[in-house]
Structure 1
Amino acid sequence: MTTSSFAAGAYASMQGLARGGLPTKPASTGGAAGMPDFGSLLGKALETTAQSARAADTQAASVAAGRADVVDVVTAVAESEAAIETLVAVRDRVIAAYEEIMRMPV
């Protein structure tokens, strides 16, 4: 279950990524059989989540100015929340996989 402070912290970190830009690395040719590498997939997921948060901000500003409906804001915020929760779930799975790899005997 998400709390408002957790969501606010996730939102703030996504805003920081959006302002500072994503870290760049040399272009890769992709993985096996022309598949994109994990880093580029993760970068796209971060950018999509940041765009979702920006859309929610835009909708909230439109309601405050009287140019949009509250339903649109609720929908945009719900989409943003779902994107953040998905991103957090992926992060947790990556961390769990890393920890499992580190436990493997050499």
Structure 2
Amino acid sequence: MIDAIQSVGAFSNLKEAEGTSLTASTALSLPSAGASAPQSQSFAEVLGTMTTDAIRSMKSAEGVSLQAIRGEANTREVVDAVMNAEQSLQTALAIRDKVVTAYLEIARMQI
């Protein structure tokens, strides 16, 4: 069921129409785990990473729920996993709503 959502992860592979990458002034800078210099990522890469994390969270919740049905997980683990997945889903929906709102505002601008 959740595997169908993985196609959304293709956002991380988006490039600009001309094939150039985003410059440092337009890219989101995030600190890297092991390096001292910040690593810049494009907005599409950040969205792709967030989407992948949300999908992983939902799959984990689904797996823990199945373990509970088999009697291998307790209720607390199921609730924690489902709440984490719900929070990820709510975050994804909020970001989607903001992107749609921004698009509609841009579409209403007069040239």
After TM superposition, the score normalised by the length of structure 2 is: 0.72
- Indicate the structure with greater helix content: 1
Question: What 5-or-longer segments of structure 2 have no aligned partner?
Answer: 26-38
The 1-side partners of 2:103 and 2:93 are apart by 15
CA offset digits 1:44-85 (Å, max 9, x no partner): 111011000000011011111111111100110000001000
Greater relative contact order (CA < 8 Å, ≥ 6 in sequence):
1
Distance 1:78 1:65, change over 3 A: same
Q: Tell which deviates more after alignment, 27-36 or 77-86.
A: 27-36
Map of 2:9 onto structure 1: 22
Which of 42, 45, 65 aligns to 1:37? It is 42
The 1-side partners of 2:95 and 2:22 are apart by 20
CA offset digits 1:70-104 (Å, max 9, x no partner): 11001100000010000000000001011111111
Question: What 5-or-longer segments of structure 1 have no aligned partner?
Answer: 1-11
* Superposed CA RMSD: 2.2
Distance 1:25 1:68, change over 3 A: same
The list of structure 1 runs, each at least 4 consecutive aligned residues, that deviate by more than 2 angstroms after superposition, is 20-31
- Give me the identity figure in percent: 26
The aligned length equals 93
The 2-side partners of 1:52 and 1:90 are apart by 17
**CA shift for structure 1 position 29:** 4.4
Q: Kindly name which structure, 1 or 2, has the bigger radius of gyration based on alpha carbons.
A: 2
Distance 1:55 1:35, change over 3 A: same
The 1-side partners of 2:100 and 2:8 are apart by 23
The 2-side partners of 1:72 and 1:47 are apart by 22
Which of 71, 88, 91 aligns to 1:86? It is 91
